[in-house]
Homo-oligomer: A and B are copies of this chain.
Amino acid sequence: MENLDENIESNVGLMEREESTMSSVLSFQIEKEILLNGLKIVERATAQKGLQPVLANILIEAESKTKLNLYATDFDLTIITSVEAQVSGLGKITLPAKKLLDIVSRLNDGIINFELNNTTMTITSGKSKFEILGISANEFPQIEYVTDEDSEVDIDLKPFVIGIKEAGFAAASYESNNNLLSGVVCDINKNVLEIASTDGNRLARARKIVSNKDDKTIKLILPAKVLQEFLKISYFMEDDSIKLYTKNNKIMIKSDNITMISNLMNGQYPQYNKLIPQSLPKEARINVSKMISALERVSTMVNEKTSIVKLSFTQNSLSLMADTPESGNSEDQIDITYSGEDILIAFNYKYLLDCFKNIDSENMIICMNTNLSATIIKPDNEEDFIYLIMPVQIR
């Protein structure tokens, strides 16, 4: 018992010494631009219109002398980032995200001082001074990290980002959130990353070569909405690689400075690879930007109820046509490389445009069979990115 008492005393002594250099209340200094970046990253996960006011706030936590952690969550998505700061008092508080961003973005460049008094944060910079009422950090939801080391997959960031851009957009719209088709498949198999999405009418699939540290294999379905947020945040990630951790239907995506936590989607995703025909008899080679211009012109006269544009492929020529009974019709023609049988085929022009605008190549290949069977669109380069689209029946 004596020993224990001694220990307690010496600990108290240690704490007092620590406090002598540190203030007893949360206080820190930070460069405007650094804080602004950090706030912009986590702000995406706040819930501005929720029932819990604290979810519209960002949790600011100083737990070391040189670093600040920023947290935001709307329960579906949690984002955490760390920013460099000079901390003179440890502690934490939540502050309204929108107000804080408004203030920080309007301050002059330079150092901003933060000092907490109960739940009121005093912010000063030059001759500008603000007092904002926060909400106690105790009311902020507990962050559930996913830290199962066994599940760790360590892959390149860049191909992951490009893959999502190329193949994440074909998912069903966000409104149908419980539908598995509103998710995007991320399938990592040794050094091949496959990203795919489909809404039932069209399908996008990209395959990328990645360095995968331990040759792990993992197949996940992430909400498309979360991946869209990930894309925006990825610009701020300082590493070349990210780590994925999964457990109990949760995923944590971690770079050196940013952590995202999201729910995973569960269920049997359609076996989309079986739907993709291996070879198709008719192949047309088309300049992407000319095709986009022609399609945009022709679509001015598209029937808004059906969005149908007809494509007529003949020897080295493609005609595009649209019409609306009460408004009129449109037609355009571009030169292509095509030597197959003549074919007249119709599509929803929006699906075509979505796809064409994602093709980062001068030319593309459209591969067809009949005007009722799955059509493949792919870039005319080495990239393994394909797009499958079902034609619309022409009446």
Binding site for B on A (CB under 8 A): 96, 99, 102-103, 106-108, 120, 127-133, 293-294, 296-298, 300-301, 326-334
Contact = CB atoms under 8 A, between A and B. Distances in A.
Contact of A327 (B106, B128, B132): B132
Contact of A96 (B96, B131, B327, B331): B327
B130 A99 contact: no
Contacts of A301: 99, 103, 130, 132
A128 to B, nearest CB: 5
A135 to B, nearest CB: 11
Nearest to A319: B127
A117 to B, nearest CB: 12
6 contacts: A103-B297, A120-B328, A127-B332, A128-B297, A128-B330, A129-B330
Contact of A131 (B99, B297, B329): B329
Nearest to A323: B131
Given A99-B300, A300-B99, A328 B130 contact: yes
Nearest to A131: B328
A296 B103 CA distance: 9
B330 A108 contact: no
A106 B293 contact: yes
Given A103-B330, A128-B330, A132-B328, 19 more contacts: A96-B327, A99-B301, A103-B297, A103-B301, A106-B293, A106-B296, A106-B297, A120-B328, A127-B333, A127-B334, A128-B298, A128-B331, A129-B330, A129-B331, A129-B332, A130-B328, A130-B329, A131-B328, A133-B326
Nearest to A102: B300
A300 B130 contact: yes
Contacts of A108: 293
Nearest to A326: B133
A334 to B, nearest CB: 7
Contacts of A107: 297
A127 B297 CA distance: 11
Nearest to A333: B127
A393 B130 CA distance: 23
Contact of A300 (B103, B133, B327, B328): B103
Contacts of A327: 96, 99, 132-133
Nearest to A297: B106
Nearest to A300: B102
A162 B53 CA distance: 47
A116 to B, nearest CB: 12
Nearest to A332: B128
Most buried by B among A108, A132, A326: A132
A133 B128 CA distance: 61
A99 B300 CA distance: 7
Contacts of A103: 297, 300-301, 330
Nearest to A295: B106
A322 to B, nearest CB: 10
A304 to B, nearest CB: 11
A291 to B, nearest CB: 13
Contacts of A127: 332-334
Please provide the 6 A-B residue pairs with the shortest distance between their CB atoms, ordered closest to farther: A132-B328, A127-B333, A102-B300, A106-B297, A131-B328, A129-B331
Contacts of A133: 326-328
Contacts of A128: 294, 297-298, 330-332
Contacts of A331: 128-130
Contacts of A334: 127
A130 B320 CA distance: 11
Contacts of A131: 328-330
A102 B330 CA distance: 12
